């Protein structure tokens, strides 16, 4: 790439960044306002306040990060429990399928016995 093309690309990126920053207002006392912004995740520290107007947000984490980590740990634990229960259900299904196979085999044996003795 020549230098002029790189400069044009950088100017375009700067313009995009300016447009995004125009939708964010920083106020007093850790107050932030987002207007018409879209983002995946936003995290704030203690004693912060944020307002969202016409924004598409994936997730917002506000407050004590240790509390957030505790909540995430609890969610992970619940997911582990759900996976364990799902494994138990799958094992029961496998056991039931084996029993059904045995029953089908016995029925076939019984039908063959009846056919042979008629």
pLDDT of 81 reads 92
Per-position DSSP letters for 54-117, written without gaps between them: S-EEEEEEES-HHHHHHHHHHHHHHHHHHHHHHHHHHHHHHHHHHHHHHHHHHHHHHHHHHHHT
- Note the pTM of the prediction, 2 decimals: 0.41
The tokens describing 18, both together, are 């300016």
Q: Would you say residue 14 has pLDDT above 80?
A: yes
Q: For residue 57, which of 32, 39, 75 has the smallest C-alpha distance?
A: 39
Q: Would you say residue 106 has pLDDT above 70?
A: yes
pLDDT in tens, 55-102: 666 556 666 566 677 778 888 899 999 999 999 999 999 999 999 999
- What residues does each domain of the chain span? 1-63, 64-118
When pLDDT is cut at 50, 70 and 90, the band that residue 41 belongs to is low
């Amino acid at each position: 790439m020549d230098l002029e093309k790189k400069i044009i690309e950088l100017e375009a990126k700067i313009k995009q960044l300016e447009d995004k920053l125009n939708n964010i207002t920083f106020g007093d006392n850790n107050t932030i306002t987002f207007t018409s912004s879209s983002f995946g995740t936003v995290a704030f520290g203690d004693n912060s306040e944020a307002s969202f107007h016409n924004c598409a947000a994936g997730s917002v984490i506000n407050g004590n990060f240790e509390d957030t980590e505790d909540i995430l740990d609890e969610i992970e634990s619940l997911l582990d429990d759900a996976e364990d229960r799902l494994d138990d259900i799958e094992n029961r299904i496998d056991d039931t399928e084996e029993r059904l196979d045995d029953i089908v085999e016995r029925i076939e044996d019984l039908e063959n016995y009846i056919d042979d003795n008629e």
